[in-house]
Amino acid sequence: MTPEEFEAFEKSACEIKGIEPWQAYILALLVDGELNPDGFPSVKKWVAQCYNEPWDCERRMEAANEIIGGHGVEGLGFVDDCAYGKASYVNLGDTYDTTLLYDHGEDEFVVCSWGSWYESKEAEAAEEETDDDLISTGSD
């Protein structure tokens, strides 16, 4: 991240429910790759229980859950190869609570609610479907 992107991410992270400015800074370091997630107790415990080592983005999300004080990391779109994309998010208890989300398709961390992320992906898929219908029918 550039210094400007880091500052913007840190500022947006302050919108996460219950987060303090120092936590937003730590979260920005984690997302930027400047802070190793393997030093967090929850990540150490989880990795020790795994046969295969979790991906870096998964370990970062688990560390983010510890920083934010969430209710665990959950996934979206992993059943039946969801057309709207795949994401992991820190569960804060409500669909529209601002949280940290990792968009697997875009390979990026985003501060938003998982509900709004899902709705935007659903709208994108509907728009693409409409575009495909126009192309197949030859309509303008």
Q: How is the chain split into domains, by residue range?
A: 3-137
In angstroms, rounded to a whole number, what is the distance separating the alpha carbons of residues 106 and 112?
Answer: 15
Report the predicted TM-score, pTM, of the whole model to 2 decimal places: 0.83
Instruction: Give per-residue pLDDT as tens, 91-112.
Output: 999 999 999 999 988 899 999 9
The mean per-residue pLDDT over the stretch 112-139 comes to 74
Helix (H) / strand (E) element for 126: namely helix 114-137
Residues 70, 90: contact at Cβ < 8 Å?
yes
Instruction: Give per-residue pLDDT as tens, 34-73.
Output: 999 999 999 999 999 999 999 999 999 999 999 999 999 9
